[in-house]
């Protein structure tokens, strides 16, 4: 490891963390901590939404996914424009009018306190899975650079980001996200340039090998939802992205940080549409790496998994100094994304639980203390989740599966409130049925392994859990609402 890379890595990382922490010196209220006082510019919020999409999950897992397979995962990105249009048309105006920092305040208005509790707990579980996946992916390039073990790096990362999250607030998160988004795009382009320059035979060799190995395939177009087909990923992506834009606290908070509703809409379009070409770039990098190491197999250690190929390339093929800068930017972007999750989770704990059931009107000091203690608790739990990710075959597939399961079908409940006149009794029944369906789809494979008949197994792909759970809650609730209204 060149000393120059280590110096660049440490200096850049300290500068970013210092920049984030510097926001703690401002005198702030709890509202400033959670929404930035509603005074941030649209371009910075948009870059922050983009960086939330990208994080280290995209930067490392998407190339790993393309390297190991094909471009089937890119179909997920193709669903984003439709989800963004729905968000701008319906979600942004709704949340701007509610005047609450909680995404789940609306559900309580429609269906009662139980809906708010249910949705907020599902959100917290999802964020723990997300933070754990990011910590694990951050540890891969850092392990190659520093030589430390993955668990050690996860622990150090977790402790660092907890301190950062407790001090900076949403304003620090958004501004550091904006910086990281720009640097990550530049870093990805630099990596692709090096691959083009160094592969024997030039760039044309990448396309020849990739075409020969069917690396550009978007998957089967058969209407089959049992395997990872084009349509399965498209449907899954649409539901996940609708959930992101419609009910994810970290997105909703960003809508509230903008100065006006129009600015919030602009930021949503900017963040979502920028991700489409950048995710394409990440998939192409994975395919290019496949061709690069097919042409030079002696450069890749035997038995290395897909998620670890890009970190190996960054450490071993990039020029000295550039390696340190790129890994530092990946690391800092991951920390910033984790910080976003911690900040939004702390907001949920304060708004949906502490203020609701413990202290309805806390002082500013008490509210800030709750936010910081909640940040600490979520950060510690995320470290344990990150350690559990160590050794998985594909972090992207594991994250997608967990996101499907932990979402709990809350998108279905949200759509039920938005698009129907269904009332509390019907909604409660629909959610209970939806949770049972999600539990069956998630656990049936385990049950079959323990002696249950194979006919009881979930026949669909794991990612379809969120789709079926959402549709169950929405359709059952909608149907019951129609029947009830005719009585």
State whether 375 and 436 are in the same domain. no
397 within a domain of the structure (yes/no):
no
398 within a domain of the structure (yes/no):
no
Question: Are the beta carbons of 317 and 97 closer than 8 angstroms?
Answer: no
232 within a domain of the structure (yes/no):
yes
Question: Are the beta carbons of 421 and 485 closer than 8 angstroms?
Answer: yes
C-alpha torsion 87→78→229→86, nearest 10: 20
Give me the chain's average pLDDT, please: 85
For 313, the domain range is 3-392
Q: Tell me, what's the pLDDT at 393? A: 67
402 within a domain of the structure (yes/no):
no
Task: Identify the bridge partners of residue 40 per DSSP, sorted by sequence position.
Answer: 258
State whether 236 and 152 are in the same domain. yes
The domain total for the chain is 2
Q: What percent of the chain has pLDDT over 90?
A: 23
State whether 365 and 413 are in the same domain. no
Which of 392, 416, 434 marks a domain boundary? 392
Instruction: List pLDDT tens digits, range 156-205.
Output: 888 877 876 777 677 877 888 788 788 788 888 888 898 998 888 888 99
State whether 474 and 372 are in the same domain. no
State whether 384 and 453 are in the same domain. no
DSSP state of 351: I
State whether 324 and 468 are in the same domain. no
State whether 32 and 179 are in the same domain. yes
295 within a domain of the structure (yes/no):
yes
Whether residue 271 is predicted with pLDDT greater than 80 in this model: the reply is yes
Phi-psi region of 201 (alpha: psi -120 to 50; beta: other; left: phi over 0): left
224 within a domain of the structure (yes/no):
yes
DSSP state of 421: -
State whether 146 and 253 are in the same domain. yes
Range in 112-121, 189-198, 385-394, 461-470 the model is least confident about:
385-394
Determine the 3-state secondary structure of 93 from DSSP.
helix
Instruction: List pLDDT tens digits, range 273-316.
Output: 998 999 999 999 999 999 999 888 888 888 787 778 888 888 88
**pLDDT class for 55, splitting at 50, 70, 90?**
low
State whether 208 and 356 are in the same domain. yes
State whether 287 and 336 are in the same domain. yes
CATH number of the domain to which 256 belongs: 1.20.1730.10
User: Average pLDDT in the 358-370 region?
Assistant: 87
441 within a domain of the structure (yes/no):
yes
């Amino acid at each position: 490891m060149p000393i120059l890379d280590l110096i660049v890595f440490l200096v850049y990382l300290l500068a970013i963390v210092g920049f984030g922490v510097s926001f703690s010196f401002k005198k702030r209220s709890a509202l400033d901590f959670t929404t930035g006082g509603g005074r941030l510019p649209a371009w910075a919020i948009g870059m922050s939404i983009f960086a939330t999409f990208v994080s280290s999950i995209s930067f490392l897992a998407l190339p790993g996914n393309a390297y190991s397979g094909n471009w089937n995962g890119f179909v997920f990105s193709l669903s984003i424009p439709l989800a963004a249009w729905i968000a701008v048309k319906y979600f942004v105006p709704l949340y701007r009018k509610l005047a609450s920092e909680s995404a789940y305040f609306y559900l309580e208005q429609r269906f009662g306190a139980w809906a708010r509790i249910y949705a907020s707990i599902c959100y917290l579980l999802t964020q723990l899975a997300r933070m754990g996946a990011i910590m694990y992916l951050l540890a891969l390039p850092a392990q190659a650079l520093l030589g430390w073990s993955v668990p050690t790096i996860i622990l150090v990362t977790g402790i660092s980001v907890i301190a950062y999250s407790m001090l900076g607030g949403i304003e620090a998160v958004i501004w550091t996200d904006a910086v990281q988004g720009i640097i990550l795009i530049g870093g990805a382009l630099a990596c692709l340039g090096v691959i083009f320059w160094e592969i024997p035979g030039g760039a044309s060799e990448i396309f020849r090998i990739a075409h020969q190995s069917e690396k550009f395939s978007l998957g089967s177009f058969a209407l089959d939802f049992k395997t990872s087909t084009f349509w399965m990923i498209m449907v899954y992506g649409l539901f996940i992205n609708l959930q992101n834009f419609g009910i994810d606290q970290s997105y909703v908070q960003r809508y509230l940080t903008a100065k006006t509703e129009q600015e919030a809409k602009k930021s949503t379009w900017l963040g979502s549409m920028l991700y489409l070409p950048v995710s394409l770039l990440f998939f192409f990098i994975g395919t290019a790496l496949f061709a690069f190491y097919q042409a030079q197999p002696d450069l890749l250690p035997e038995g290395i998994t897909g998620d670890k190929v890009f970190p190996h390339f960054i450490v071993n093929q990039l020029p000295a100094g550039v390696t340190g800068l790129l890994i530092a930017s990946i690391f800092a972007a991951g920390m910033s994304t984790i910080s976003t999750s911690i900040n939004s989770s702390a907001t949920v704990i304060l708004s949906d639980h502490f203020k609701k059931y413990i202290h309805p009107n806390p002082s500013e000091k008490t509210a800030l203390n709750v936010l910081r203690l909640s940040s600490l608790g979520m950060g510690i739990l995320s470290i344990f989740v990150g350690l559990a990710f160590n050794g998985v075959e594909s972090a992207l597939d594991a994250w997608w599966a967990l996101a499907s399961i932990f979402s709990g079908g809350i998108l279905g409940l949200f759509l039920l409130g938005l698009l129907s006149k269904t009332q509390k009794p019907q909604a409660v029944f629909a959610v209970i049925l939806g949770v049972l369906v999600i539990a069956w789809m998630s656990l049936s494979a385990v049950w079959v392994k323990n002696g249950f008949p194979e006919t009881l197994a979930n026949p669909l792909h794991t990612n379809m859990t969120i789709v079926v759970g959402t549709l169950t809650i929405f359709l059952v609730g909608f149907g019951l609402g129609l029947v009830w209204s005719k009585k």
